[in-house]
Structure 1
Amino acid sequence: MARLEDLKAGVQVNGILPQQTVTIIDVTWHGSAAVEITYRRADGEPRSQLLYRTDEANLSISQTRHKWAFTAPGDTFKLTAEAFRIHLAHLFDPVLAVHTSLVLPLPHQITAVYGEMLSRQPLRYLLADDPGAGKTIMAGLLIKELIVRGDVRRCLICAPGSLAGQWQDEMWFKFQTHFDIFTRETVESSVSGNPFQEKDLVIIRLDQVARSEELQAKLSRTDWDLVIVDEAHKMSASLWGGEMKVTKRYRLGELLGSISRHFLLMTATPHNGKEEDFQMFLRLIDPDRFENRSKLHNEPVDVSDIMRRMVKE
């Protein structure tokens, strides 16, 4: 039922004509109990009629007019449309991270990220460019590009303790991506009991986690989309008397590789001169391929598909 007060210009009403919806054009009140309306029929013909309070029981407001109406604030619509545009921006801009970051990457950095790493699904790669090549910038571009493409939500960076703050600053000031540094306070303030599950973008200190079986146990119960290890050569293993000797850092590397879909190792010194040690290091990236490499002694292998090394001229 509709009241006479509901009849306004532009409103569509049922009950004035049999089995037909009409559109109100004009309303003129006669006292408080009667109203004269001018309306347009479905065929466009205008008519007038006097309605009383007793007619209210037969009237109803049609919802057809509002079926596709947009009633949200314009600012909210603009914000939503802009967010959706940014969400799909990578489909139209193949180097979106470059254009939305405060960096001017060099050609070799763009080639490494967009030519070598992004096309690999999953990414299991060793970035071994010389010092000063800007591996941190490459990692930042990779992280941001994968995030905007929706391929990465949870990312873990493992770095030596002295570099943790530097990584946090680089990711924020150059790529506007905030990472939390994992600390002892992080463990003590954890609500769930596993601090690694509570943040999606985390920086851990290599030795802090490598020396703690408790932290490694918590870490093993999490999953990550991308793990990046800086100064990865510290995760070393060696062959001694035909037996493989591994360090706690190496064990951490094995763990990180097992809980992540994308795994990137970064170091300027991947090779210590011993082919056996190098091949055992590569097991962190591809444990199946290099499982028995320690038995091959000094036989070199082709690693061009999993490693990039740019040497300064």
Structure 2
Amino acid sequence: MVQIQQGNILKSSFWPEKVRVISVKNIGERIKIEAVGLETRTFYDPILSLDDVKNIEVIEEKPFKFTGNGESLFLYLEAHRIRNAFQFDPLYAISVSQINPLPHQIEAVYHYILQNPRIRFLLADDPGAGKTIMAGLLLKELKYRGLVDRTLIVAPGHLKDQWLREMKDKFQESFTILDRSVMNANWGRNIFMDISQAIVSLDFAKQDVRKNIFSILA
């Protein structure tokens, strides 16, 4: 017969979950088991026959081991912290970026754009109003929420380096500028399998020979 002792973890159809034994009492030819559910913390105290006890499985509780890779554990926990940080810090992207946003930038990104289930907005403020900052904040927030895997920035040719520099300096986001030399070096391959964040000039993207490549990402 199964020997049940205080502290054992039990599994049986008598409980909807695994339980930990608090006490075991003999009542004539029956046994009263007082236990607490491991998941719901619900208290159970069934009185079972000796035949019922035969259908109870005592689960061996394995001791904790602390021989794992500490750095891997830290990275795992840090990834989960970052993944859920936006739930506790409504302006998380601002907190981790090297910027001092203006009120209208915060209002546009957090009070309008991010409030929508499907984000399709046109940022068309006046020159110098900080459209790059707003785009960077939006990108960071979407990435931290697990909603963005790949990013393509299409900009006027003379602004490619500015976008590259500001994304790196202000938001710690690394981009690759796609031009003729990069595309030729990767001829016959899907370049977007290796590059997840790219910047391309408007004139380069709209050329007929490459229009279909970039239109797929739209």
Q: Same fold (TM over 0.5)?
A: yes
C-alpha spacing 1:192/1:96, structure 2 compared with 1 (3 Å) = farther
Percent of aligned pairs sharing the same letter: 44
Alpha-carbon distance between aligned partners in 2 of 1:116 and 1:144, rounded to the nearest angstrom: 16
SS of corresponding position for 2:122 = strand
Structure 1 residue 147: Cα displacement: 0.7
CA contact (8 A) 1:113 1:142 kept: yes
Q: 2:203 aligns with which of 184, 203, 207?
A: 207
Which residue is equivalent to 1:79? 75
CA contact (8 A) 1:209 1:216 kept: yes
More strand by share: 1
Task: List per-residue Cα deviations over 1:173-192 (Å, max 9, x = no partner).
Answer: 00001111111122112165
Q: 2:213 aligns with which of 205, 214, 218?
A: 218
CA contact (8 A) 1:196 1:219 kept: no
Q: Does 1:149 align with 2:145?
A: yes
CA contact (8 A) 1:194 1:218 kept: no
Which residue is equivalent to 1:115? 111
Structure showing greater Rg: 1
Structure 1 residue 67: Cα displacement: 6.0
Structure 1 residue 193: Cα displacement: 2.7
SS of corresponding position for 2:154 = strand
Which residue is equivalent to 1:171? 167
C-alpha spacing 1:200/1:74, structure 2 compared with 1 (3 Å) = closer
Task: List per-residue Cα deviations over 1:130-160 (Å, max 9, x = no partner).
Answer: 2221111011101111111111111111101
Q: Does 1:97 align with 2:93?
A: yes
CA contact (8 A) 1:153 1:200 kept: yes
Which residue is equivalent to 2:39? none
Larger deviation: 64-73 or 135-144?
64-73
Alpha-carbon distance between aligned partners in 2 of 1:109 and 1:71, rounded to the nearest angstrom: 47
Which residue is equivalent to 1:130? 126
CA contact (8 A) 1:181 1:204 kept: yes
Alpha-carbon distance between aligned partners in 2 of 1:121 and 1:75, rounded to the nearest angstrom: 36
Bigger relative CO (Cα 8 Å, ≥ 6 apart): 1
Alpha-carbon distance between aligned partners in 1 of 2:213 and 2:122, rounded to the nearest angstrom: 26
Alpha-carbon distance between aligned partners in 1 of 2:83 and 2:116, rounded to the nearest angstrom: 22
- TM-score, with length taken from structure 2: 0.67
Structure 1 residue 167: Cα displacement: 0.1
Matches within 5 A, 1:55-66: 64=60, 66=62
- TM-score, with length taken from structure 1: 0.48
Segments of 4+ moved more than 4 angstroms: none
Alpha-carbon distance between aligned partners in 1 of 2:125 and 2:169, rounded to the nearest angstrom: 23
Structure 1 residue 209: Cα displacement: 1.8
C-alpha spacing 1:160/1:81, structure 2 compared with 1 (3 Å) = same
CA contact (8 A) 1:192 1:198 kept: no
Structure 1 residue 197: Cα displacement: 4.4
Alpha-carbon distance between aligned partners in 2 of 1:136 and 1:218, rounded to the nearest angstrom: 25
CA contact (8 A) 1:90 1:148 kept: yes
Give ranges in structure 2 of 5+ residues lacking alignment. Answer: 4-58
CA contact (8 A) 1:157 1:204 kept: yes
